[in-house]
Chains A and B, each alone.
Chain A
Amino acid sequence: MAEDSPARDKATQSAEDMTTCAQAVSAAFSAAGDAAEDRSRKGHGERLLTLVDAGVRGADGRWIVRHIDLAVHRGEIVTLIGPNGGGKTTTVRAALGILPLAEGRRVVCAGLRVAYVPQRFRPDSTLPLTVSRLLRLGTQAGATEIGKALQRTGVPHLAPRAVAALSGGELQRVLMARAILRRPDLLVLDEPAQGVDIAGEAALYELIRSLKEELGCGILMVSHDLHFVMAGTDHVVCINHHVCCQGTPQQVSAAPAFAEVFGPTALAHRAAYLHDHDHVHGADGHVCPLSPTMPKTGMDQGGGKG
């Protein structure tokens, strides 16, 4: 990866490893004392990206996030949830090597091909750039492929348009098309539904799920849509300056920390979730210890509503 990003020049040089996927991370994770992590994620491919006890400081020296343990495997969707200002985007940027780690480690597979759709993207209008030129930047796409990718993200008519004239939602879809064209190992999406209308949202989430299968990539995303997070993703990490809890959607929705962060909405989603499924997997709760009564209570609520 970028060996000379500001992030890597100083702070993280020693804290950063590039190894093959196979060797890498068992070592990193046994260091983090998190052997159970591996057990719960069986069925997924190799580990692409790992943060171990990572912390990022702001310009004023205060911690923005700290003690972040996070891993993304090939073939899974990992979502970051949490309150605004809780450090989700900071975590994503640290995971990508954009921000330097003040402590902890970041382990990346050698040769990992990343596609990143950031939350904010607005290229300077002094740069004359058409959508199709943008889609050729950092991809090897020809005109046909570009047309297809734009078709899939629902904006086939935009190819000849100037990027500066697009709306936020259109830009988001164009960047998604670019991400597809990069054929990444790791796809990173920071609130991909932002600026996309409600009707488009469902299609977008469907697209994300199908990309996981089609590209065989791992996906790390920030999302506010708890329904999608709980129903469509494999691993959920709740971040509020630190990892409040993480695990399968079942485990997280049952965790007290999750209810604390999200309040009544969390309960609603837990109810919705439990309505669809008849048991809870997370009783072992290795990531965040569950209070013994919580899952049961949750189930009762769900059952009552159903």
Chain B
Amino acid sequence: MMPSMLSWLAEPFMRQALLAGLAVAAMAGPLGVFVVWRRLSYFGDALAHAALLGAVLAVLLDVMLPLGVLAVGIVVTVALHLLRPGRMLPADALIGILSHAALAAGLVVLAVWLRPQVNLMGLLFGDLLAVSVREAWLAAGMAVLVLMVMARLWTPLLALTMSEEIALAEGLATRRAQLAHALLLAVALAMALPLVGALLFTALLVIPAAAARALATTPERMAGLATLTGALAVILGLGAAWTWDLPTGPAIVLAAFVLFALFHMAARLLRL
């Protein structure tokens, strides 16, 4: 068991997948805690659904998959930022309308122009072989960028989470911080999509953060622990996907879920 669990590291494409996966886990920690605290998982899902259009366009235009996903993610995020929920429609309805329109457009484009060349299952659930060397290094670079921006956004976002009223009254740029966080989610999605797929992207943000909540006493520890949990889930998930020939996205998410359950049971036992 043990040799086969580690032997996958000998394969170059597995090392690429590991690099991309760890980069995504690093981003997902600090981004994901705010998804949990600010109840943005529906927004994450919507973004990921819209991403399918980006992936299809990337294939059509023959550019790197993450770039197409990122472009569509940015358009959807900015559009949602500019469209304000009014008296007629609440915010979540707007999010759903925009993301499902994008998803539908993606599926139509796929059906009309691309059906034979595209691995739809790979786009939805992730593909171990999908991460190129360039994409892996791009993900690593983006992780550094995202972490640097998050370090600057940390205080305004945290103040906003604690109390939007107080943050506004004290003059923090709350709307700008929220937009920046949403754009960083689009970046993380673009880097994660080839590996975990569109359907399970939000799980990668939410489950490690939710697992970390069990053991964390400060916001910073929760973010750090979420990153570690995500990284461990990526390692376990990739190993399992290699060993048992599973789709990578579900393998990683299941590994994260097991860690989530263990952390919460441990927290309960420690308190007894």
| Contact A126–B168 (Cβ < 8 Å) | no
Query: B-facing mask of A84-112, CB < 8 A → 1, else 0?
Result: 00000000010011100000000000001
How close is A164's CB to chain B, nearest CB, in angstroms?
11
| Contact A2–B219 (Cβ < 8 Å) | no
| Contact B218–A128 (Cβ < 8 Å) | yes
| Contact A93–B176 (Cβ < 8 Å) | no
| Contact A127–B173 (Cβ < 8 Å) | no
Tell me whether B169 is interfacial, beta carbon within 8 Å.
yes
| A93, A133, A138, A182: the one within 8 Å of B165 (CB) | A93
How close is B52's CB to chain A, nearest CB, in angstroms?
30
| Contact B162–A127 (Cβ < 8 Å) | yes
What A residues does B9 contact at CB under 8 A? none
Tell me whether B213 is interfacial, beta carbon within 8 Å.
yes
How close is A89's CB to chain B, nearest CB, in angstroms?
10
With the chains together, A130 CA to B219 CA distance in Å? 9
| Contact B173–A2 (Cβ < 8 Å) | yes
| Contact B213–A5 (Cβ < 8 Å) | no
| Contact B162–A2 (Cβ < 8 Å) | no
Tell me whether A45 is interfacial, beta carbon within 8 Å.
no
Tell me whether A137 is interfacial, beta carbon within 8 Å.
yes
How close is A292's CB to chain B, nearest CB, in angstroms?
42
| Contact A129–B162 (Cβ < 8 Å) | yes
What B residues does A121 contact at CB under 8 A? 163, 165-166
| B87, B171, B175, B219: the one within 8 Å of A59 (CB) | B87
With the chains together, A6 CA to B175 CA distance in Å? 7
What A residues does B172 contact at CB under 8 A? 2, 138
What A residues does B219 contact at CB under 8 A? 127-129, 133
| B87, B163, B169: the one within 8 Å of A188 (CB) | B169
| Contact B175–A4 (Cβ < 8 Å) | yes
Task: Pick the interface stretch among B55-63, B153-161, B185-193, B195-203.
Answer: B153-161
How close is A128's CB to chain B, nearest CB, in angstroms?
5
What B residues does A128 contact at CB under 8 A? 213, 216-219, 221-222
Which of under 10, 10 to 19, 20 to 34, or 35 or more describes the interface residues of A? 20 to 34
| Contact A4–B166 (Cβ < 8 Å) | no
With the chains together, A16 CA to B34 CA distance in Å? 32
Interface of A is mostly: loop
Query: B-facing mask of A1-44, CB < 8 A → 1, else 0?
Result: 11111110100000000000000000000000000000000000
| Contact B159–A116 (Cβ < 8 Å) | no
What A residues does B158 contact at CB under 8 A? 137
| Contact B165–A118 (Cβ < 8 Å) | yes
With the chains together, A90 CA to B133 CA distance in Å? 56
| Contact B175–A116 (Cβ < 8 Å) | no
What B residues does A138 contact at CB under 8 A? 155, 159, 166, 170, 172
The residue of chain A having its C-beta at the shortest distance from the C-beta of B171 within the complex is A1
Query: A-facing mask of B208-219, CB < 8 A → 1, else 0?
Result: 000001001111
What A residues does B87 contact at CB under 8 A? 59
How close is B11's CB to chain A, nearest CB, in angstroms?
39
| B161, B171, B218, B221: the one within 8 Å of A2 (CB) | B171
With the chains together, A124 CA to B176 CA distance in Å? 22
| Contact A114–B170 (Cβ < 8 Å) | yes
Tell me whether B257 is interfacial, beta carbon within 8 Å.
no
| Contact B36–A118 (Cβ < 8 Å) | no
| Contact A116–B166 (Cβ < 8 Å) | yes
How close is A259's CB to chain B, nearest CB, in angstroms?
33
| Contact B168–A96 (Cβ < 8 Å) | yes
What are 28 A-B pairs at a CB distance below 8 A? A2-B172, A3-B173, A4-B175, A4-B176, A6-B175, A7-B168, A9-B175, A98-B168, A114-B171, A116-B165, A116-B166, A116-B170, A118-B165, A118-B169, A121-B165, A121-B166, A126-B36, A128-B219, A128-B221, A129-B218, A130-B217, A130-B218, A137-B155, A137-B158, A137-B159, A138-B159, A162-B217, A182-B170
New contact pairs (7) apart from A123-B162, A128-B216, A128-B219, CB-CB < 8 Å:
A2-B168, A4-B174, A5-B168, A118-B166, A123-B163, A127-B37, A133-B218
Q: Which 9 A-B pairs have the closest CB atoms?
A: A116-B169, A1-B171, A96-B169, A4-B175, A2-B171, A98-B168, A5-B168, A128-B216, A123-B162
